[in-house]
Amino acid sequence: MTYYKINTDAHSLYYSEIAEQALPLFEVQVIIENKAGMNDPEGDTILNDLVLKGGSGAIKKIHSAKMLKFQITSPKKESAEKSVKKICDDLRIYNPMVSKVTFSAKPI
Amino acid sequence: MFFNRCYWLWFNNRATYNGIVKVGVIVFPGSNCDRDMFHVLQDVFKLDVKYYWHEDKLPKNLDAVVLPGGFSYGDRLRAGVIAAHSPVISDVKKMAEKGMPVLGVCNGFQILVESELLPGVLLKNTSLNFMCQWTELIVKNNKTPFTSKFKLGQKIPIPIANGEGRYYIDKENLEKLKKNNQIVFQYGSNINDSVFDIAGICNKEGNVVGMMPHPERAVEPEINPKDCAPSNMIFQSLIATVGARK
């Protein structure tokens, strides 16, 4: 008689992967920008040394920011945003002292 | 003058705790001042120095740890933030909690800030330029393991080399820094719009110190056209502190 040892961990991982694949995919946009009142030398340089010198005098202010796009499987849009927010908070993807962050998810 | 300096170096370092002080220099992918720091600690101050890769465990018998400058992980996302999640940093945190002296220089300072061992943040210089120049520091706290040999207000000629060296902290936390005597070094002049001209700070306990300038580039007369003695005192303070504990 042959006995087969079942690796339950591997099986559960396999089935959880299948379950995840069945979930809809979302793209969560994470926009990281300076808090109000923070110096923004990058935005100022783009404005003063590029845009205004190019003759676009109607532009009064430019704020620089960073955007990350996370693709994530999740049952709902809200839970996708919540999961990405937790990742960003836990890993300090942004620095809470100087940055404010907005999260917006859309289905892919 | 030269012989006086040699004698002074010998008297203060080599004759006292030669080889007793064990220091770890942490190396991350992208560190580039690790060899300079290693050379200074080993060859100038004759300490027992070893490199530790960012994935290594730190031995418990270390007396101090130095996080050198460079561009860990290419400064991706923000300078120091990815290195702050390295396995070795959790060991550094544990040892820092026990009072072990930790020095972060330049990128090392950024890593200490991003790992929340020190408060605040280091932002891009207002000029957006990489600044590489000599500057003057003023010692504001001589109670740390790295400044115990200084007099308050003593000046240190020292080079800086950074793109993200503008220290920022909000008003509320700046007041806490002042109240807890956590400001260790100030720039002699406003060179990069750092809040309160801060060039280096320490934690509440004083054993974790971060500084943007590079003391390892200022301790040998061959590369320091000004005065090596003040920068030497940063390392001599460490030797004296650790030596006194042994």
CA–CA distances in Å: residue B64 to residues B38, B90, B115, B197, B241: 13, 15, 18, 27, 10
Residue A65 Cα, gap to closest chain B Cα (Å): 12
Non-local CB neighbours of A49 within 8 Å, separated by 6+ positions: none
Q: Do A39 and B125 touch (CB under 8 A)?
A: no
For A66, half-sphere exposure in the C-beta direction (CA atoms, 13 angstrom radius) is 14
Tell me which residues of chain B have a pLDDT lower than 50: 8, 11-12, 14-16
Domains of chain A: 24-107 (3.30.1280.10)
Confidence of residue A54 (pLDDT cuts 50, 70, 90): confident
Q: Is B77 on the interface with A (CB under 8 A)?
A: yes
What is the distance between the terminal CA atoms of chain B, rounded to a whole angstrom? 33
Contact B107, B66 (CB under 8 A): no
Question: Which residues in chain B are closer than 8 Å to A38, comparing Cβ atoms?
Answer: 168
Q: Which secondary structure element, helix H or strand E, spans residue B138, and what is its range?
A: strand B131-139
**How high does pLDDT run on average in chain B?**
92
First and final CA of chain A: distance in angstroms?
50
Closest Cα of chain A to B177: distance in Å? 15
pLDDT of residue B15: 42
Q: Is B85 close to A91, i.e. CB distance below 8 A?
A: yes
The residues of B assigned a catalytic role are: 106, 214, 216
* Residue among B84, B126, B168 minimizing CB distance to A41: B126
State how far the Cα of B111 lies from the Cα of B121, in Å rounded to an integer: 10
**Chain A contact for B177, CB < 8 A?**
no
Q: Is the pLDDT of residue A23 over 70?
A: yes
Most distant CA pair in chain A, distance: 85
Selecting from B85, B128, B168 the residue whose C-beta is nearest the C-beta of A42 gives: B128
Q: Report the alpha-carbon distance of residue B228 to residue B213 in Å, rounded.
A: 14
A58 interface with B at CB cutoff 8 Å? no
Chain A partners within 8 Å of B121 (Cβ): 95, 97-98
Decide if pLDDT at A9 tops 80.
no
Query: For the segment B27-63, what is each residue's pLDDT rounded down to a tens digit?
Result: 999 999 999 999 999 999 999 999 999 999 999 999 9
Neighbours of B1 (CB within 10 A): 6
How many Cβ atoms from other residues are within 10 Å of residue A57's Cβ?
8
Q: Hey, which residues 83-142 in chain B have their CB within 8 Å of chain A?
A: 84-85, 114, 120-121, 123-128
A48 vs B: CB within 8 A: no
Q: Do A45 and B77 touch (CB under 8 A)?
A: no
CATH number of domain containing B33: 3.40.50.880
What residue has token string 């960073």? A66
Say whether residue A37 is in contact with chain B using an 8 A CB cutoff: no
Total of domains in chain B = 1
Nearest to B110 by CA among B201, B172, B39, B196: B201
Range of the domain at B149: 2-245
pLDDT at B44: 95
Q: Are strands B208-211 and B198-202 parallel, antiparallel or unpaired?
A: antiparallel
CB pair distance less than 8 Å for A92 and B170: no
Distances (CA, A) of B150 to B138, B205, B232: 10, 18, 10
Looking at chain B, list the stretches that DSSP marks H as alpha helix, in order from N- to C-terminal side.
Answer: 2-9, 34-39, 87-97, 107-114, 171-179, 229-245
A-B C-beta contacts closer than 8 Å: 31
Measured between beta carbons, the chain B residues lying within 8 angstroms of A67 are none
Q: Is the CB of residue B193 less than 8 Å away from at least one CB of chain A? A: yes
